[in-house]
Structure 1
């Protein structure tokens, strides 16, 4: 297992180096002048030139890259020109908000999609199977921002069941003391049930938005994988041996069908991190997605570079977790590693 972890980390290093290079180059070729934006519309050319010199943007591109990599090697992601705060601090502050929303959406989707996919495979051709195919098709067809706006209109504007989509907490509540950065967990640790209920209420609609987006691929691959396994010879042998249907489906069929599902979970989690950018803007969620969009609009390079690098590290960690999960689910994966 340690050999597997080492090999995966070794292959991830060139990927992260490539991310650093590509992100640096892309932020430099994007339209817009950072110095002119922060100098203001009434600034003189001399003032803009002074700001450009202060930011180091007057240096040759190779020199700027060397300075960026040197700072990066020391753990310095730069300073946001918009907020004046360290990018590393901003990402560390906002990442729990994005992670809480993403994990809640993924868990909610799992709780629905996996049993739904299993039932659709077991009862192939039934109304459950048709409903599964209909829902998965609708889930992949609807843009995530459209789903979010539709749910806001329905549950907040029309029915009045959901609170205003204005962040992680209602304005009448204060954030709990930070322990994990997850409001649900921190409010429980503080014993503040009122804040917990308020945070949970704010999470419901954005979680449902992400869950609808994530449900479709998970349910589809669960159904397809279960259908493949249920047609295998060892399943027919298990049935012929007199094992109960529950034992055959959950113990034998589902465990053998889990590898494609785990792979899909990794892909879906990556997609959700990207979809978070749109969902956070719709629900005014103070996560790193909205932070990166605001920085991109103002041509603030450091937060954009920090965001992309943080996402790349998360993807590497996620792929490593998936590889480890393979070894737990299927011993053959451990022996091959």
Structure 2
């Protein structure tokens, strides 16, 4: 298992280097001039050139890249031109908000999608099978920002059941002491039930938005994988041996159907990282997605580069966890590693 982890980490290094190069080049290819943006509309050409020189944008592209990589090697992502704060500090402060929302959305979708896919596979043609198809089709077809806007319109504007989509807590509730950065966990640790209730209520709609978006591929893959396994010879043999249907489905079929489902989970998580950017803007969520969008609008290179690199590292870590789960479920993966 350790050799497998080591190989995966070695393969991840060239990917991260490629992400750094591509991100640097793409940010420089964006339309607009950061120096002109921060100089203001009334600035003359000389003032713009002075700001460009101060930002180091007058240097050759290769020199800018080497300076950027040298700073990265020291853990310095640069400073945001908009806020004036170090990008690493901004990302560290905002990452828990994005992680709490994304992980909770994935957990909710898994708790719904996997049982739904199993029931649909064990009862083909039934009403629950049709429900699975309709649900997955709707989840794939609806854009995530549209789903969020519809939920806000129905449950906040029309029914008034949900709080205003304006961040992680109600404006009259104090932030719990920072331990993990996850407000649900921190409020439980502090036994601040008012903050917990407020954080939970604020999470319902954005979590539902991400869950609707992500449960479709998980449920479809679970159903397809279970159908394939249930028609295999060893399942028929287990049934002929007199094992209970529950034992056949849970012990034999589901465990063998897990590998493609776990692969889909890793892909779904990567999709959620991208969808989270739109959800954060819809619900005014103070995460790294909204931070990157604001930086992109203002042609602020450093936050955009830091955001993309952070997403790449998270994706590598998720794939590493998936590879470890492969080894736990299927011993042949450990032997191949």
TM range (shorter): over 0.9
Q: Tell me how far apart the structure 2 counterparts of residues 49 and 126 of structure 1 sit (CA, whole Å).
A: 69
Q: Tell me how far apart the structure 2 counterparts of residues 2 and 112 of structure 1 sit (CA, whole Å).
A: 33
Deviation at 1:239, TM superposition (A): 0.8
Q: Tell me how far apart the structure 1 counterparts of residues 305 and 131 of structure 2 sit (CA, whole Å).
A: 43
Q: Tell me how far apart the structure 1 counterparts of residues 188 and 28 of structure 2 sit (CA, whole Å).
A: 45
Are 1:242 and 2:226 matched, yes or no?
no
Normalised by the length of structure 2, the TM-score is 0.99
Tell me what 1:306 maps to: 306
Are 1:142 and 2:142 matched, yes or no?
yes
Q: Tell me how far apart the structure 2 counterparts of residues 32 and 17 of structure 1 sit (CA, whole Å).
A: 26
Deviation at 1:82, TM superposition (A): 0.6
Deviation at 1:91, TM superposition (A): 0.5
Give CA deviations for 1:210-259 in whole Å, capped at 9, x if unaligned: 00000100000000000000001111111111111111111111001000
Tell me what 2:67 maps to: 67
Q: Tell me how far apart the structure 2 counterparts of residues 36 and 87 of structure 1 sit (CA, whole Å).
A: 21
Deviation at 1:307, TM superposition (A): 0.4
Tell me what 1:333 maps to: 333
Tell me what 2:180 maps to: 180
Secondary structure in 1 matching 2:286: coil
Deviation at 1:46, TM superposition (A): 1.2
Deviation at 1:134, TM superposition (A): 1.0
Deviation at 1:271, TM superposition (A): 0.4
Tell me what 1:231 maps to: 231
Q: Tell me how far apart the structure 1 counterparts of residues 233 and 277 of structure 2 sit (CA, whole Å).
A: 45
Deviation at 1:44, TM superposition (A): 1.6
Secondary structure in 2 matching 1:41: coil
* Alignment size in residue pairs: 337
Are 1:21 and 2:21 matched, yes or no?
yes
Tell me what 2:294 maps to: 294
Q: Tell me how far apart the structure 2 counterparts of residues 5 and 333 of structure 1 sit (CA, whole Å).
A: 11
Give CA deviations for 1:156-202 in whole Å, capped at 9, x if unaligned: 01111100000001100111111110000000011101100100000
Give CA deviations for 1:109-148 in whole Å, capped at 9, x if unaligned: 0111000000000001111111111110111000000000
Q: Tell me how far apart the structure 2 counterparts of residues 107 and 194 of structure 1 sit (CA, whole Å).
A: 24
- Pairs within 5 Å for 1:96-135: 96-135=96-135
Deviation at 1:47, TM superposition (A): 1.1
Secondary structure in 2 matching 1:310: helix
Secondary structure in 1 matching 2:225: helix
Tell me what 1:194 maps to: 194
Tell me what 2:83 maps to: 83
Q: Tell me how far apart the structure 2 counterparts of residues 194 and 242 of structure 1 sit (CA, whole Å).
A: 53
Q: Structure 1: where are the runs of 5+ without partners?
A: none
Tell me what 1:164 maps to: 164
Q: Tell me how far apart the structure 2 counterparts of residues 336 and 12 of structure 1 sit (CA, whole Å).
A: 18
Q: Structure 2: where are the runs of 5+ without partners?
A: none
Q: Tell me how far apart the structure 2 counterparts of residues 196 and 230 of structure 1 sit (CA, whole Å).
A: 43
Tell me what 2:10 maps to: 10
Q: Tell me how far apart the structure 2 counterparts of residues 192 and 53 of structure 1 sit (CA, whole Å).
A: 50
Secondary structure in 2 matching 1:135: helix
Q: Tell me how far apart the structure 2 counterparts of residues 314 and 43 of structure 1 sit (CA, whole Å).
A: 41
Q: Tell me how far apart the structure 2 counterparts of residues 219 and 39 of structure 1 sit (CA, whole Å).
A: 51
Normalised by the length of structure 1, the TM-score is 0.99
Deviation at 1:86, TM superposition (A): 0.5
RMSD: 0.6
Secondary structure in 1 matching 2:324: helix
Deviation at 1:336, TM superposition (A): 1.2
